[in-house]
Amino acid sequence: MQSFFEFFKELFKTNDFMPRWVSGRWTEAHGWLYILSTIVIGLSYFAIPVMLFIFIKKKKNFPFKGVFFLFSLFIIFCGITYILDAIMFWVPIYRLNAVLLFLTAIISAATVIALYKKLPLALNLKSPEQLQKIIEDQTAALVLANQKLTESEEQFKALVNNNPDVITLMDAKLRYKFVNDSLSKLSNKSLSSYIGKTPCEVLPNHPHTEAFTSKLQNVLENGKKVEYEVESTVDKIGQAYFLVQIIPLTNKWNQVNEVITITKNITPIRENERKLQETINKLEQFSKRLEYKRNTLQEFTYIVAHNLRSPTGNLVSLIDLYNRSVGAEKKELLLSKIFDVSQQLSNTVHDLSDVLNINQNTDLKTELLSFKTMVDNQVKNIAAQIMATGANISCNFSACESIQYPKVYLESIILNLLTNAIKYSSEKQKPIIHFNSAISEKGKISLTCTDNGQGIDLIKYGKKIFSLHKTFHGNSEARGVGLFITKNQINSMGGSITVKSEPDKGATFIIHFNEFELL
């Protein structure tokens, strides 16, 4: 221990040794070669850590910094030993030299251990060539991926742009992020002028903009898809029908941050629907008309059987009987019967020809007729009858004052309704007759005549009430022609007549003047 301290006390003592120049036989050249070489080596060793430091500083994230530090230290100490080696030609500090060599030995051993530990990692480091190769490969893959991405983007764009519907994408502030080419089929503005703007900014004055914006706002708030139809006017095609879909897009936090709008022009569909409906309407009219014709035909078959065949048969039988019978009195009686029947036949033929005329005269001249005037005229016509029964006749035509109709028909219709109401008035009370008119949204005009008369049992007679020679009250005055004529007149002009009634509760006749179109 004593000697250990002694050693360090005399670390810089030189008198125990001889400078190198004087120990051994050094020539000038030999000595200086040695000295200069060791100095250059030492200085170089000092320079190497500086270089390494610069290198590490420049290369950020460079691994093995600790190893490099140890290595630098080792090099520096090596440098120092070389420099000391040179110094010792003049100053023999062999003790210091030994200590420095010892330190160098420790550092070099530590460096070897560190290197040994880091070796596997260092082996894993790619060489620049390897790295170059990797970069090239990755670049090629990236280029390919990019190409594919571009391709798929092109395809997507083509798909979206060639879609006949207008498709747009908007951000959460309802600014257009994307609009497809189809928009140019509707809008005169350039498509790029839409981008980054809200609908209000693009089309501030369009009547649909406000509603559209509020619907967009709704979708943003509720996150639910909205679909609606709208009739709108656009630059290039004018008035059109659109089906608008607004679809919310959510981000990964489930917030709606974008909306897609898809606008389909459904005008052709609507147009087809309209045409179809028109055709259906026409067909319905046609079938109504056919139904009417069929009914008329059936009615006439019936009339021929009952109103013509029957009296004709009677006539034949009467004449047969006349021929067989003897005695002037009998013959006289038969002759009077024959006269009655022929009169009846003639009346029927007359009535029928009236009705046939009605059904053929579908192009009768019409004129604008005031309901009030028409009723007043007929009331005057049968003033005596009205006076005799004390009938009270009122009317209200405020809903529809007049109608375009053949005058003779309307006169006859009103007269028939009036006389029927009086003829079948109740025995218990004075007749009250009320007329009123109405017009539907579609412009269909109707006339209603209500009375407080005997009424008709429609359960029993409903189908027959407008038939020829049908009477229901056992009234000898009744000929059963009036309503038949009335019905035929109304039908021939494309209308219909219906009745609501109960025995003893009066009757209401309703005329729809223009229910179906004349064909």
Partner 1 sequence: MKKKIDSVCIIDDDLIYQFLVKEEIEYTNMVEKIMFFSNGDKALQFLKLTLDNNDLASLPDIIFLDINMPVMDGWEFLEAYAILKPRLVKKITIYVVSSSTDNRDFDRANAINEVSDYIIKPVSGNQLEKIFMSLLS
Residue numbers at the binding site for partner 1 (CB under 8 A):
301-302, 305-306, 309-311, 313-314, 316-318, 321, 337, 340-341, 344, 460, 470-474, 478
- Least Å from the CB of residue 480 to partner 1: 8
H-type helices in 10-127, by residue range? 28-58, 65-87, 94-124
Strands (E), 136-237: 166-171, 176-179, 226-234
- How many Å apart are CA 472 and CA 19, to the nearest integer? 165
Q: What are phi and psi of 421, to 5 degrees?
A: -60, -35
- Least Å from the CB of residue 473 to partner 1: 7
- Least Å from the CB of residue 326 to partner 1: 13
- Least Å from the CB of residue 333 to partner 1: 9
User: Are the CB atoms for 444 and 400 separated by under 8 Å?
Assistant: no
Closer residue to partner 1, CB minimum distance, 208 or 306: 306
- Least Å from the CB of residue 466 to partner 1: 15
Closer residue to partner 1, CB minimum distance, 64 or 472: 472
- Least Å from the CB of residue 355 to partner 1: 18
- Least Å from the CB of residue 388 to partner 1: 25
| Exposure string for 466-491, b = 16+ CB within 10 A, e = fewer | bbbbbebeeeeebebbbbbbbbbbbb
Q: Which residues pair with 403 in a beta bridge?
A: 369
Pairing of strands 392-396, 432-439: parallel
Q: What are phi and psi of 58, to 5 degrees?
A: -70, -40
User: Are the CB atoms for 423 and 475 separated by under 8 Å?
Assistant: yes
Closer residue to partner 1, CB minimum distance, 231 or 320: 320
- Least Å from the CB of residue 299 to partner 1: 12
- The CA-atom distances, in angstroms, between 397 and each of 9, 375, 394, 506 are 142, 11, 10, 21
What is the phi-psi region of residue 256: left when phi exceeds 0, alpha when psi lies from -120 to 50, beta otherwise?
beta
255: amino acid identity, one letter:
Q
Closest C-alpha to 98, from 3, 16, 12, 5: 12
Which two three-digit tokens encode residue 504? Answer: 């003893």
- Least Å from the CB of residue 459 to partner 1: 11
Q: What are phi and psi of 4, to 5 degrees?
A: -60, -50
H-type helices in 304-327, by residue range? 310-324
- Least Å from the CB of residue 321 to partner 1: 6
Edge-to-edge strand list for the sheet holding 432-439: 392-396, 432-439, 445-451, 507-512, 496-501
Closer residue to partner 1, CB minimum distance, 304 or 383: 304
Closest C-alpha to 483, from 430, 436, 416, 432: 416
Closer residue to partner 1, CB minimum distance, 337 or 434: 337
DSSP for 104-158 reads HHHHHHHHHHHHHHHHHHHHHSPPHHHHHHHHHHHHHHHHHHHHHHHHHHHHHHH
- Least Å from the CB of residue 314 to partner 1: 5
Closer residue to partner 1, CB minimum distance, 8 or 302: 302
**What's the chain's length in residues?**
519
Closer residue to partner 1, CB minimum distance, 66 or 462: 462
Which two three-digit tokens encode residue 182? Answer: 């189809």
Closer residue to partner 1, CB minimum distance, 81 or 344: 344
Closer residue to partner 1, CB minimum distance, 160 or 458: 458
- The DSSP symbol for 88 reads T
- Least Å from the CB of residue 463 to partner 1: 11
Closer residue to partner 1, CB minimum distance, 230 or 319: 319
Closer residue to partner 1, CB minimum distance, 177 or 306: 306
Closer residue to partner 1, CB minimum distance, 150 or 301: 301
* Angle, in degrees to the nearest 10, between helices 482-492 and 407-423: 150
